[in-house]
A and B are shown apart, each in its own frame.
Chain A
Amino acid sequence: MNNILNQIGIENYIFLSVLLFCIGVFGVLYRRNAIIVFMSIEIMLNAVNLLFVAFSTYWQDSKGEVFVFFSMAVAAAEVAVGLAILVSIFRNIGSVDISNLKNLKG
C-alpha cells in the first residue's frame, strides 16, 4: 500500500468529505442567491466524488474512479442547463434571488 493513503489515512478523507457535504447542504439551505445555491450543490457533488476516489484507492479498485468521471460529466451537463435557466430567469425578472421565485405556489 505505497500510496497517498498511507500518509494521511482514510478517515481524514471521510471527515473532509462530510464537512464539504455539510457546507454544501447549509449553503443550499441558507443562501438566497441562486448562483450560490448552485455552487453549494456542486460542493456536495464534489464531496461525494472525493469519497469515491478515496475509497477507490483504498480498495485498489478503479470502479469508483470511473464513477467519478460519470458524475462529473453529468454535473457539467446539469450546470450548463441550470445556468442557462438562471440566465433566462435573470433576463425576465431582473434578479436570481430564489425567494422571488414563487410562481409555483399552489
Chain B
Amino acid sequence: MDNSLVLLLVLTPFVGFLFNVFLGKKAGKTISGAIGTIAVAISFVMSVYFFMQLNTTGKPITVTLFDWIQIGKLKVDFGILLDQLSLLWLLFVTGIGSLIHLYSISYMHEDDNMHKFFAYLNLFIFFMITLVVGNNLLVMFIGWEGVGLCSYLLIGFWHKNQDYNDAAKKAFIMNRIGDLGFLIGIFILASLFSTLNFVEMKQALSTGNANTALLGVAALCLFIGATGKSAQLPLYTWLPDAMAGPTPVSALIHAATMVTAGIFMITRMNFLFDLTPEVQNIIAIVGAITALVAASIGLLQNDIKKVLAYSTVSQLGLMFLALGLGAYNVAVFHVITHAFFKACLFLGSGSVIHALHGEQDMRKMGGLRKAMPITYATMLLSTLAIAGIFPFAGFWSKDEILMTAFEHNKALWIIGSIASIMTAFYMFRLMYLTFFRDFRGTEEQKHHLHESPSLITLPLIILAALATLGGLINLPGSNWLNHFLEPILTGKHLETALGNQEYMLMGIALAGAIIGIVWAYSKYIKQGFVPKQDSEITGFSKTIYNKYYLDEVYTSLIVKPINALSNFFRTTLEPALGNIVYGFGTVANGIGNQGKKLQTGSIGLYLFAFVIGVLAIVSYLFLAQ
C-alpha cells in the first residue's frame, strides 16, 4: 500500500509532464494548466498523508525500488527515504509548487507555449521530489542534475531573446562547476564507505575510525556543489541573471525550492559535516560574506526582480551561516519561512509586472498601492517578514540565525546583522518605489493599471498568510520544528531557552530592521528620491550598481584566458598539427606521382620487364647455388 502511494507521490508530476509534452498543445491552455496543477497537488496531498503518518508513528518510511548499481563492494539501491527532513521539504516544495502552478495558469495565459511551460514545471517538481526523497547520494544527484536542467529550460523559456539564452547557459555552466565538486565528493564517500546510503554512512561514521583528512575533502567538495546550486560566493552570479525566466519560475525555482537544495544536502549529510569543523568554518564564513555582498548589491538595483534575486542570495547566505555553525535546524527553519515570503514577493512582483505589461524597472513604477490593493497588502506582509519585524515569520528564523552566530562568533554576528539591516532597507526601498508616491510610467500604462485576477491573488494571499504565521512552527518555547528534526540531527541540544541575552539580541535585530526601514522611508518617501539613470551613477555606488564588477572579473580572469587559449589552439596549434597530418598525405602523393610514370600502358614494355625479371630470378637461383 505504502509503496504504491510513494510511487504516486513521486510519479504524478512526471505523468503531468508527459501529458503536457505530448498532448498539452491539443488539450488547450486551460486544461494543460489544470492537469499540471492537479499533478502537483496530488503530490502535495500524498506528502501531507505521509507527514501525518510519520507524525503518529515516528518511523521513517523506506522503499527500495530496485537494486541499481553493484560493483565490487559498492552497492547502490534505487531507494526512497521519507523521513522528517525529506517530508518537510516535500511539503513546502509541493505545497508552494501547487500554488505557483495555480498562479501560472493565469500568468502565462497569454503565452503560446503554455503547455511547454507546464511540462517543464512538472518535470522540475518531479526532479525536485527525486532529489529530496532519495535514500542515497546518487539518487539525490539525479534529482540535482534534473532540477538544473529544468532551471536551464525555464530561464531560457523565452528563447527568442538571446540575452535570456545567455542567462540560461550561464546558470547551467555555473551549476556544472559546482556539480563537479559534488560528484567528486560522492566518489570520495563511495570509496570510503562502499555505500552512499545516508543511514548506512551515518552508522559507519558513528563507529569512528574513518580517514578524517579524506572526510574533510569530501565535505568540502559537497559544499562546493552546494555553492553552485544555492548561489553562494563565488558561484552566485547565475542567480540574478536567472531572473530572465518567467516570474513564476523565479518564485518556484530560484527562490523557494531549487536553490535550497544545497542546504538540504548539507543538512542531510550533517553527520559528515559535524566531523569536519574546518569545513564548517569555511561554510559559515562564505555564507556570511555572501549575505553581506549580495545585500549590498541589492541596495542599488533598479530591476524589481533583481532586487529580489540579490535578496535571495543574501538570505541563502544567512542559511549557510547557520549551517556552518552546526545549527541545521535553524537553517531549515529559515529555508521554510524564506520559501513562504520570498515566493510571495516574487509572485507579487510578477503581479506588478503583469499589470505594467512587462515593465520591471522600479524607476518607472510608483503609486501602485491604490490600483493593486491585494498585491500591495500581501507584498507588504512578506516584506515585513523578510525584514524581520516582530511577529512575522522571518523575524523568528532570522533571529535564531543571528542568535546562533552571536553565541559562536561575534564577527559573524555583526556581518549578519549588517546584512539584515540592508535587507530591511532594500526591501522597503522596493516597496516605496513600487507602491508609493506617484506613478512614473507612461500615460497608457497608467490607464491600464489593474488588480490581477483571482488566480494570481489567491496564491498571494495564501503565501502572505504563511509568511505571517510561519514562525509558529518553531517559536522559542514550543520548538516544534526542532523536536521534529531531532531524529536526523545528531548530538545537538535543540532547545532555545529564552534568557536576557536572547531578549537583548531580539531587540537589537528588531531595532536594526527598523533602522533600515526608517532609512528607506526618509530617502524614498520624505525626499521622494528616485534612483538616477544608469549613466548618472558615479563613484562607489557605480561599483555596487555594477555588482562589484564581479562578472567582469570572471570574464577577464577565466573566460578571456580560456578564449585566448582556445584561439591559440585554433589558429596556431591546430594548423600545425594539421600540417603534420597533411604532410604524410603530400609525401605519399609525391611518391605516387613518381611511381605513376612506371605505368606507361605499353604492353610490350611490361612484357619485356616481365621477361627480364624472370631471367633475373632464374639466374639468381642458379648462381646462388
Contacts and interface: CB of A to CB of B under 8 A. Distances in A.
Interface of A: 25, 28-29, 32, 37, 98-99, 101-106
15 contacts: A29-B608, A29-B611, A32-B604, A98-B604, A99-B602, A101-B603, A102-B600, A102-B602, A103-B601, A105-B601, A106-B595, A106-B597, A106-B598, A106-B600, A106-B601
B599 A104 contact: yes
Contacts, number: 32
Residue with the highest number of chain A CB atoms closer than 10 Å, among B597, B598, B603: B603
B148 to A, nearest CB: 61
A106 B604 CA distance: 16
Nearest to A103: B601
Nearest to A31: B604
B607 interface: yes
Interface in B49-82: none
Interface string B565-579: 000000000000000
Contacts of B603: 98-99, 101
B532 interface: no
Contacts of B604: 29, 32, 98-99
B493 interface: no
A101 B601 CA distance: 7
B526 interface: no
Contacts of A106: 595-601
Interface of B: 595-604, 607-608, 611
A32 B603 CA distance: 9
A103 B600 CA distance: 9
Contacts of A28: 607, 611
B611 A102 contact: no
A104 B607 contact: no
A40 B128 CA distance: 90
Nearest to B593: A106
Contacts of A101: 601, 603
B599 A105 contact: yes
Nearest to B607: A28
Contacts of B599: 104-106
B597 to A, nearest CB: 7
A25 to B, nearest CB: 6
A11 to B, nearest CB: 18
Contacts of B598: 106
A31 B607 CA distance: 11
A98 B605 CA distance: 11
CB-CB nearest 3 A-B residue pairs: A106-B599, A105-B601, A102-B601
A37 B595 CA distance: 27
Given A101-B601, A105-B600, 17 more contacts: A25-B611, A29-B607, A29-B608, A29-B611, A32-B604, A98-B603, A99-B602, A99-B603, A99-B604, A102-B601, A103-B601, A104-B601, A105-B601, A106-B597, A106-B598, A106-B600, A106-B601
Nearest to B603: A98
Nearest to A105: B601
A25 B603 CA distance: 14
A103 to B, nearest CB: 7
A101 B603 CA distance: 7
A37 B607 CA distance: 10
A24 to B, nearest CB: 10
A68 B608 CA distance: 27
Nearest to B595: A106
A103 B603 CA distance: 10
Contacts of B611: 25, 28-29
Nearest to A41: B607
A2 B598 CA distance: 55
Nearest to A102: B601
B596 to A, nearest CB: 4
A23 B598 CA distance: 27
Nearest to B598: A106
A105 B598 CA distance: 9
A29 B611 CA distance: 9
A106 B601 CA distance: 7
Contacts of A98: 603-604
B600 to A, nearest CB: 6
Contacts of B600: 102, 105-106
A17 to B, nearest CB: 15
A63 B136 CA distance: 83
A104 B604 CA distance: 13
A25 B608 CA distance: 9
Contacts of B607: 28-29, 37
B430 to A, nearest CB: 83
B349 to A, nearest CB: 79
A5 B608 CA distance: 35
A103 B607 CA distance: 16
Nearest to A106: B599
A63 to B, nearest CB: 22
A101 B597 CA distance: 17
B487 to A, nearest CB: 86
A60 B611 CA distance: 32
B68 to A, nearest CB: 63
Contacts of B608: 29
A55 B399 CA distance: 119
Contacts of B602: 99, 102
A13 B602 CA distance: 35
Nearest to A34: B603
A98 B601 CA distance: 10
Nearest to B610: A28
B611 to A, nearest CB: 6
